[in-house]
Amino acid sequence: MRWKLGTAAYKRVPSRDAAMDPDLETPDPTAEKTPDGAGGAGAAGAGPSWRRSLPHVCVATVTSFLFGYHTGVVNEPLESISADLGFAGNTLAEGLVVSICLGGAFVGCLFSGSVADGIGRRRAFQLSTLPMIVGAALSALTNSLEGMLFGRLLVGAGMGLGPPVASLYITEVSPPSVRGMYGSFVQIATCLGILFSLLVGTPVKDIDRWWRVCFWVSAVPAVLQAIAMEFCVESPQWLYKCGRTNEAEMQFEKLLGPLHVKSAMAELSRSERGDDGESVKFSELFYGRHFNVVFIGTTLFALQQLSGINSVFYFSSTVFRSVGVPSSLANICMGIANLLGSIIAMLLMDKLGRKMLLVGSFFFMAFSMGLQAIGANHHLGSASVYLSVGGILLFVLAFSLGAGPVPGLLLPEIFPNKIRAKAMALCMSVHWGVNFFVSLLFLRLLEQLGPQVLYTMFSSACVVGAIFVRRHVVETKGKTLQEIEVSLLQTQ
């Protein structure tokens, strides 16, 4: 049964027949191309074009931009917010305004897998924008601390729901040849969101109640994403899992082009034959055939947070001020280092591979945190200033080269289609949980243990992370999701 490419319509083959039908082989990649380079089978041999999937990936990364924006939006305006709402000087209340998003994100994460599997990736994106829009509006309009906290809690729920779905969606709609680069867009968008929040917050000390504008601004990209998702494709993997094979073929055609639909559907069918076809309960992630990959995912996110990265992000201003560097300049320098590393990671992801970037990133982070531990010795005089500041900037750069962007890309790649959404929800919940406790205990541990001991502990966690990756993480560069799934099943 052949595809009739010369006609406007062609016959689609049911996916379950595709893998078994010897007539459905991928066109010969050695076939001669036409002079304009587009020629028939040769185009198929060159692989799918990245241009078809790029707009859909860009719309998905708006979620990461919003994540970055809401992470940084209260940094500059917090003093003005506390003065206007009547809790100035109350450090507990100020801490809650910053950290209550983590609680909301943890709850949103827990439900992200069920939501993404229940209503699909596109609708899950749109649902995640709703609490962000409502929460931003409440935060902008409120005249009380309670209203601010409730608004931030809603925003956190959207932050928890959106990023896991973004990782799933980008992994599932990207061609293998550029999946690493597209996965890096998540980290770049997050960096841009943080930098944009700092830029928007700049006039807060000069313009009365400007902080309300800062919250209103965040509603705009959320509304735009909800609308744009109406024009994006649904995940073919999700449609196939729901038994909607014809729709899955149509989405593959939009993403990969008609020449690559049959091979993509054949691979989906091939990976499905390695499964029992039954849905997976959350409890089943903790034992049985899927435990190994889930253990890798949760451990990787736990080690990412135990490295101390969010303590650096949350409390770096204090460190910089202690050595005489203005906090605004510190935030900009960290944002630039984060963005620079993310761009480098994007360029190297599909060349060096995920595993090499992760190992190198963790070792580089261990070295940088070691510099901070040495710099904490104030007997070194002016050298301690350079070691502390340089160590922080190098640490952020090292994180953004691998430990930041890779886990969110790698884990949806190694999780089988059947458990992908629920497993990502579990791993991201671990991420938020460890993030919360590290951030909560950081200042207390810093006071009791001292910076040298605490930074040495963080450095040791980075070394453990590098060793763990070398021993347990598989390389996924250039492989289709189905090839990865089948190879992992064969090793079990």
> Quick one: average pLDDT of 312-332?
71
DSSP letters for 204-219: GGTSTTHHHHHHHHHH
Q: How many CA atoms lie within 13 A of 106 on its CB side?
A: 13
pLDDT at 20 over 60: no
Whether the CB-CB separation of 269 and 15 falls below 8 Å is answered with yes
Query: How do residues 30-41 score in pLDDT, each as one tens digit?
Result: 333 433 334 444
- The whole-number pLDDT of residue 273 equals 57
- The whole-number pLDDT of residue 1 equals 39
| Percentage above 90 pLDDT, the chain | 40
- The whole-number pLDDT of residue 55 equals 94
Residue 489: pLDDT band (50, 70, 90) is low
Could you give the C-alpha distances from 417 to 170, 228, 242, 369, 474, in angstroms and in order?
14, 25, 11, 37, 17
> Quick one: average pLDDT of 80-105?
86
Q: Which residue has the tokens 């003005």?
A: 80
> Quick one: average pLDDT of 202-212?
88
- The whole-number pLDDT of residue 222 equals 96
pLDDT at 7 over 60: no
pLDDT at 188 over 80: yes
Other Cβ atoms less than 10 A from the Cβ of 213: the count is: 15
Least confident of 149-153, 195-199, 263-267, 374-378: 374-378
Could you give the C-alpha distances from 425 to 72, 294, 390, in angstroms and in order?
23, 11, 35
Least confident of 350-354, 403-407, 447-451, 464-468: 447-451
pLDDT at 343 over 90: yes
Query: How do residues 449-462 score in pLDDT, each as one tens digit?
Result: 888 898 999 999 99
Whether the CB-CB separation of 411 and 194 falls below 8 Å is answered with no
Other Cβ atoms less than 10 A from the Cβ of 36: the count is: 6
pLDDT at 356 over 60: yes
Give the residue with greater pLDDT, 271 vs 4.
271
pLDDT at 11 over 50: no
Residue 12: pLDDT band (50, 70, 90) is very low
- The whole-number pLDDT of residue 490 equals 58
Query: How do residues 412-442 score in pLDDT, each as one tens digit?
Result: 888 888 888 888 889 988 988 888 788 778 8
The pTM assigned to this predicted structure is: 0.79
Torsion of CA 328, 334, 338, 340, to 10 degrees: 90
> Quick one: average pLDDT of 214-243?
94
Residue 183: pLDDT band (50, 70, 90) is confident
pLDDT at 366 over 70: yes
Which tokens hold the place of 369?
Answer: 């945190």
Helix H or strand E segment including 440: helix 420-449
Give the residue with greater pLDDT, 262 vs 228.
228
- The whole-number pLDDT of residue 125 equals 96
Mean pLDDT of the chain: 83
